[in-house]
Amino acid sequence: MKPLRESRPGGAEDRKPYDEAEFEALLDAAVDGIIITDHTGCILRLNKATERLFGYREEELIGQSIRLIMPEKDARAHDRYMRNYLRTGQAKIIGIGRELEARRKDGSLFPIALSIGEARLRDRLHFVGLIRDLTAQKRAEEEALRQRELMNHASRLTTMGEMAAAMAHELNQPLSAITNYTAACQRLLARGDAEATSDLQRALEEIGSQAHRAAEVIQRVRDFARSRASGREAVRIAALIEQIMPLLQLDARSNRVELHIRIESGLPEIHADPIQLQQVLLNLVRNAIDAMQSLPEPERRVDLRAGMLNDAELQIEVIDRGTGVSEEAARQLFTPFFTSKEKGMGMGLAISRSIVAAHGGTLDFRNNPLAGATFRVRIPVGQPLQDEQ
Ligand SMILES: Nc1ncnc2c1ncn2[C@@H]1O[C@H](COP(=O)(O)OP(=O)(O)O)[C@@H](O)[C@H]1O
Ligand SMILES: [Mg+2]
């Protein structure tokens, strides 16, 4: 790159046309790759950034087809595409710009943003391509996605941690039943008469089914706590809520809270990540239960309702009769690590909102007229949702 002549800004010097060498120095100063080709895709000129990006020296590229720096599948389609464009004027990249992959000299591929413009010079069509390396950006996006997965998993585990007491309680019942039946079996065995045999049979069956019940509790917990890549599928809200019903009931029961669930029939399917949405609902119900700790037991009640808000949106409401949200808390509720609880982590609502947002929906709340708060999840139905970012 040659140094430019010093000049006073705005002076006559600045308006003099650049000569070829000056212009080359300017092209070489560009951060993005610049490639000029003729109408067949033969490379006529390129700048220094292009050499850096692709690992070729200039003379290795000049006179070569642009296909040289394309991944094979694009290279194969190139000539056909160019013929088609020159004939019909139908552009897929030219004048538009796109994200795609490019190929370095060593054969490795990397993501780029490419925009191509065209100019008619010396009675021939020329193309000028601008190439921006997206490697760092893509890596940052992937890292952000991975972080979110980790966060999601961490918060799922926190939810589970908060529910551990309820789980221990739930497991205790079948386990003590098993202990009792086992003692009874031993007594019956000691007696050893004919009638004892049929009693024994019944007691053993009972042991089996209680053990099964305990195993089911554990299985539900493990399914939910498992680290899992998020995946979208067609989801029925009713089925999604049914699946976590045992967990919700368990939490409610052990906190002496009445849980009423009402789901409108005939709700349309949505395209969603069921485990993530289940986590949102668990978080909201957990918070609702927490907000009623100081209430006398008969007044503790949570309502979970699902229905259509209008033709386009599904709404799930979690309604409690607890403390409600103070004005001060209202401002920070969805901020990560905001908590008013001694052992709170303050991630529940922040993560829930980001999950709902990734589904194209909203999560908000309002205080109820009499007592407590209502948290509302709204998710659009029947339209393709944006991909998770
Ligand atoms: N149903 C509710 N009623 C009143 N306050 C609530 C309710 N849900 C959440 N909050 C408030 O929002 C805060 C943040 O909730 P969250 O993000 O789930 O974290 P955590 O439950 O760990 O505190 C809670 O600490 C509480 O102050
Ligand atoms: Mg919470």
Spacing, Cα 162 to ligand 1 middle (Å): 13
pLDDT computed for residue 189 by the predictor = 85
**Contact yes or no for 325/373 (Cβ under 8 A):** yes
Question: CA 161 from chain center: how many Å?
Answer: 23
Answer yes or no: do 379 and 311 share one domain: yes
Among left, alpha and beta (phi > 0; psi -120 to 50; other), residue 63 is: left
Mean pLDDT, residues 163-182 taken together: 79
Q: Does residue 381 share a domain with residue 262?
A: yes
Q: Is the pLDDT of residue 351 over 80?
A: yes
pLDDT confidence of 159, banded at 50, 70, 90?
Answer: confident
Strands 301-308 and 258-263: parallel
Asked if residue 229 has pLDDT above 60, the reply is: no
Q: How far is CA 308 from CA 84, 305, 313, in A?
A: 48, 10, 6
CATH assignment at residue 358: 3.30.565.10
In a domain, residue 15? The reply is: no
Radius of gyration over every alpha carbon of the chain, rounded to an integer in angstroms: 33
260 and 352 share one domain: yes
Residue 185 has a CB neighbour count (10 Å cut-off) of: 19
* pLDDT above 90 as % of the chain: 46
Whether the CB of 322 sits within 6 Å of ligand 1:
yes
On whether both 104 and 164 belong to a single domain, the answer is: no
Q: Among 63-72, 79-88, 211-220, 324-333, where is mean pLDDT lowest? A: 211-220
Give 105 or 384, the one with higher predicted confidence. Answer: 105
CB atoms within 10 A of CB 321: 20
Q: Which of 133, 160, 186 is the last residue of a domain?
A: 133
Q: How many CA atoms lie within 13 A of 264 on its CB side?
A: 13
Domain co-membership, 92 together with 182: no
What's the full length of the chain, in residues? 389
Nearest atom within ligand 1 for CA of residue 333: 12
In this structure, the answer to whether residues 257 and 225 fall within a common structural domain is no
Here the CATH number for the domain that contains residue 90 is 3.30.450.20
Residue 94 is classified by DSSP as B
Q: Is residue 9 part of a domain?
A: no
- Is residue 239 included in any domain, yes or no? yes
Q: Are 377 and 363 in contact (CB under 8 A)?
A: yes
Task: Indicate which residue's Cα is closest to atom 12 of ligand 1.
Answer: 333
pLDDT greater than 80 at residue 120: yes
Domain termination site, one of 102, 133, 164? 133
Candidates 304, 302, 306; CA nearest to 320 is 302
Q: Is 139 exposed, middle or buried (0-12, 13-18, 19+ CB in 10 A)?
A: exposed
- For residue 248, what are its two tokens? 């919700």
Ligand 1, atom nearest to 338 Cα: 14
Is there a domain that residue 118 lies in?
A: yes
How many angstroms is it from 249 CA to the middle of ligand 2? 17
The number of distinct structural domains making up the chain is 3
Question: Ligand 1 in contact with 339 (CB < 6 A)?
Answer: yes
How does the average pLDDT of the chain come out, rounded?
A: 86
How many A from CA of 341 to the centre of ligand 1?
A: 8
Higher-pLDDT residue of 2, 60: 60
Is the model's pLDDT at 94 over the cut of 90?
A: no
Pull the structure tokens for residue 6: 């010093």
Q: Is 368 in the pocket of ligand 1 (CB under 6 A)?
A: no
DSSP state of 11: S
Q: Token pair of 184, please?
A: 């009874």
The CATH number assigned to the domain holding 222 equals: 1.10.287
Task: Tell the burial category of 130 from Cβ atoms under 10 Å away from its Cβ (0-12, 13-18, 19+).
Answer: middle
| Residue 175 and residue 113 share a domain | no
On whether residue 225 sits in a domain, the answer given is: yes
Rounded distance from Cα 340 to ligand 1 centre (Å): 7
Mean pLDDT: which of 42-56, 116-130, 169-183 is highest?
A: 42-56
Domain hosting residue 111, numbered range: 31-133
List CB contacts of 351: < 8 A, sequence separation 6 or more. 151, 152, 155, 279, 283
Residue 351 belongs to some domain of the structure: yes
Q: H or E element: which one contains 374? A: strand 373-380
The pLDDT value given to residue 174? 84
Helix 274-290, helix 237-254: angle, nearest 10: 30
CA of 325 to the centre of ligand 1 (A): 8
**For residue 334, which atom of ligand 1 is closest to its CA?**
17
Does 381 lie in the same domain as 273? yes
Ligand 1 atom nearest to CA at 286 = 21
What pLDDT, on a 0 to 100 scale, did the predictor assign at position 326?
Answer: 93
pLDDT category at 293 given cuts 50, 70, 90 is very high
Task: Dump pLDDT digits (tens) for 232-258.
Answer: 889 999 999 988 887 888 889 888 999
Binned at pLDDT 50, 70 and 90, residue 387 comes out as very low
**85 and 183 housed in the same domain:** no
| φ, ψ dihedrals at 302, nearest 5° | -120, 135
Residue 235, Cα to own-chain centre: how many angstroms? 16
Q: Ligand 2 centroid to 284 CA: how many Å? A: 7
For ligand 1, atom 11: residue with the closest CA: 333
For residue 10, is it within any domain?
no
Q: What are the DSSP calls for 203-244, one per residue? A: HHHHHHHHHHHHHHHHHHHHHHHS------EEE-HHHHHHHH
Q: Are residues 243 and 363 in the same domain?
A: yes
266 and 388, same domain (yes or no): yes
pLDDT above 90 (res 104): yes
Q: Is residue 160 part of a domain?
A: yes
367 lines ligand 1 (CB under 6 A): no
Instruction: Give the lowest-confidence range in 55-69, 162-176, 294-308.
Output: 162-176
Given 229, 263, 282, the domain boundary residue is: 229
Torsion sign across C-alpha atoms 321, 247, 152, 267: negative
Evaluate whether 278 touches 243 at the Cβ level (below 8 Å).
yes
The answer on 373 and 244 residing in a single domain is: yes
Place of tokens 């998770």: 388
Residues with Cβ within 8 Å of residue 40, at least 6 apart in sequence: 65, 82
